[in-house]
Amino acid sequence: EDIEAVAQALIDSGLTSREKLACIGGSNGGLLVGNLITRPLASSLFGAAVCQVPLLDMKRYNKLLAGASWMGEYGNPDTSDWKFLRNHSPYHLLRHDILGKPEMDDNGVLMEPTESTNPIWKCPKTLFTTSTRDDRVHPGHARKMVASLLEEAGKEKAPTVLYWENTEGGHGGAADNSQRAHMWALTYNFLAQALDLESS
């Protein structure tokens, strides 16, 4: 809500517009960006987003790579903590709340599809970046989110979703300065195009 408030204030004051405003974050910041692109208000405030090495599935994060070590911070999704975590899990917000896809109940039974909580939702132009060799946040988080956006949300709701996965690099997304420069060049080129900065 803090970032929503700041973004809204920037727009309301005339300092910028939705079409020129972007958010970017990696790792835990990727979780933040994932929430911004799926929350009803925030998703309407940003023209573009960059989601780097993100944590996006808060139901299964503790079963992937270093995720179990974060339960003290986030909570254990296999307990009653899930009720809170569910509200901050971008993958679930997208698939089940926005798109109305069936969700498993606490007993592992597939529930009925639901109506969208936000039928007018539209994903900002978004670039996801990750690393095959990330040893902290599994690249599966970004892969499955992008798959859902491309295959389930489709072009009407998610018109521009791009994905780049480096096969090296660990959690930083790049193995050396050359790869790091390449990754940031991709990022800034995406933002320049998505926000139409090249013609400004």
Q: Which helix H or strand E contains 8, and what residues bound it?
A: helix 2-12
Beta strands in the chain (DSSP E): 22-26, 48-52, 125-131, 161-166
Packing angle of the helix pair 28-38, 2-12 (nearest 10 deg): 60
Dihedral angle at the C-alpha atoms of 131, 132, 135, 137, nearest 10 degrees?
60
For 6, other C-beta atoms within 10 Å of its C-beta total 11
Tell me which of 44, 88, 171, 182 is the catalytic residue.
171
Q: Which long-range contacts (CB under 8 A, 24 or more apart) does 174-183 make?
A: 174/131, 183/129
User: Does 182 participate in catalysis according to the annotation?
Assistant: no
Count CA within 13 A, CB hemisphere, residue 16: 15
Instruction: Assess contact for 191 and 48: CB atoms under 8 A.
Output: yes
User: Does 171 participate in catalysis according to the annotation?
Assistant: yes
- Largest Cα separation within the chain, whole Å, is 54
Tell me which of 27, 88, 116, 182 is the catalytic residue.
27
Instruction: List, by residue number, the catalytic residues.
Output: 27, 171
